[in-house]
Amino acid sequence: MSCDPAGNGSAIRIEGLGKCYPVYARPGDRLRQFFAPSLARVLRRPARRHFAEYWALQEISCDIGRGEQVGIVGRNGAGKSTLLQIVCGTLAPTTGSVSVNGRIAALLELGAGFNPEFSGRENVVLNAGILGLTPNQIDARMDAVLAFADIGAHVEQPVKTYSSGMYMRLAFAVAIHVEPDILVVDEALSVGDEAFQRKCFARIRRIREGGATILFVSHSAATVAESCDRAMLLDQGRLLALGHTRDVLARYQKLLYAPTGTLDAVRAWIVAHPPRALAEASAEPAAVVSTAGTPRADAQLASTVGEIGEALEADAIDRDDWFDPGLPRGQGVTYPHLGARIGQPHVETPDGRAVNVLAPGRDYVYRYEVDFERTLAGIRCGMMIKTVTGVELGGAASAPYGEGLPLVDAGARVQVRFGFRCLLAPGTYFFNAGLVGLVGEAEQFVAREVDVLMIRVRPDPGRLATGLVDFDVRPQVHLHG
């Protein structure tokens, strides 16, 4: 699983990487293991091993190109932080190798690299020096670092008195001001307040636009979808998937919500169905520019309106919305079901005409049906609309928690309808369908389909709204002479 999608050389090359930790059953076994090699030499026999092996990473191989932003996702204990520590050089691998091309700055464990007895200012000097800045460079950038961290007079206090948010502010400010070629960010940003997180992500975007490579770990699928070119999925120390962000996130969600007894089967399915590579995703239609002139990477059309018209039935050409038979139904991911199956997802007009090319501002109905193979209680249905990159724009549930269908018998079929108004920018979008019910005393998914339906929203020459969603803004401009 190795590639160089950037086409201009690798910033990070990982080959056959593995990390093994010894696990001791008893404290005394650690001491026995320490003396085991010497004793074996004296007795001239093979050394006895007093520990079990735990492989945090196994056979990881991939290339990350210059200028890429790659998200790493996986469940707790998957090996994400271990991988980042090895990439940053703070942890030695057991097998394999990692090659890093350029200066690397990292935000790993909170406060890593800080001396708790030093003041914030002294730790800036210490940390920036470790990252390769000269004393003159540190002096020249000190004011900018402190201004970005914005912790006021606390900068003169020992960092052992800092809150976790203050730690993160200072560490991030140092990392970005060393002008790294590679920026590695673990989940550290999650401890900051929302305003500072937004400030951090804006700066990360600027760093990337300057040609730096970003390696990013987050449990937030929306953050990864919005900011990363590619994603990699780790589980049990193995690289299960690497490729187009939306495809990898769909597989991550499938793994995350899989019932315990099906995890091995889900892992096998993910390995057998690799996501698209970045080059394949780049072959998708180019970004559309809205009529207001705002570039929109998420608003993609598979063909122009004229090309779509050629695929229409003759009597549909003059309509504002229509069904394009050449439009794919999406690359859906089906979750393991627990007694219910979703079928026939589609969008139709209020009068029942099926469409997959929608007109901005019109009302539509998203429909699907559910067949029940067992009797289930507390049934609630849901839907979600997402962008091409996987950003969740909005959705709805059929009822509040605790107010779903009390009981649905085996053999029943439920028709689900969600009316909505199309307030989306021209582009391509995906629909999810899902069903939750009471399994035991807990509510969980009993059926779920991700990216099960793809629709397009056609261009509107008179569109004034910018961005992904039309908020029905009413502009007024008055010229006073």
Q: Is 43 exposed, middle or buried (0-12, 13-18, 19+ CB in 10 A)?
A: exposed
Residue 47, domain member (yes or no):
no
Same-domain pairing of 342 and 427: yes
Pure H helices in 89-163: 120-130, 135-149
Using alpha carbons only, how large is the chain's radius of gyration in Å?
27
Per the structure, the count of domains in the chain is 2
Pure H helices in 115-261: 120-130, 135-149, 164-177, 194-209, 221-227, 245-256
SS3 state of residue 33: helix
Same-domain pairing of 268 and 313: no
Same-domain pairing of 320 and 265: no
**The last residue of a domain, from among 222, 245, 279:** 279
Give the domain range for residue 146: 64-279
**The last residue of a domain, from among 249, 279, 309:** 279
Residue 2, domain member (yes or no):
no
Same-domain pairing of 99 and 168: yes
Q: Which residues lie across from 186 on neighbouring strands? A: none
CA distance 111 to 171: 7
What does the pLDDT read at residue 316?
A: 42
Same-domain pairing of 303 and 441: yes
How many other β-carbons are positioned within 10 Å of the β-carbon of residue 402?
9
How many other β-carbons are positioned within 10 Å of the β-carbon of residue 96?
17
Same-domain pairing of 296 and 198: no
Q: What is the CATH number of the domain that holds 436?
A: 2.70.50.60
Residue 33, domain member (yes or no):
no
pLDDT < 70 stretches in the chain: 1-8, 109-112, 188-194, 278-319, 330-331, 481
Same-domain pairing of 132 and 261: yes
Q: What is the CATH number of the domain that holds 270?
A: 3.40.50.300
**The last residue of a domain, from among 246, 279, 312:** 279
Six-digit token pair at 130? 């470790």
Residue 471, domain member (yes or no):
no
Q: Is 432 exposed, middle or buried (0-12, 13-18, 19+ CB in 10 A)?
A: buried
Residue 95, domain member (yes or no):
yes
Same-domain pairing of 69 and 193: yes
Same-domain pairing of 111 and 188: yes
Residue 473, domain member (yes or no):
no
Residue 370, domain member (yes or no):
yes
Same-domain pairing of 272 and 293: no
Residue 311, domain member (yes or no):
yes
Same-domain pairing of 299 and 349: yes
55 in Cβ contact with 18 (< 8 Å): yes
Same-domain pairing of 184 and 293: no
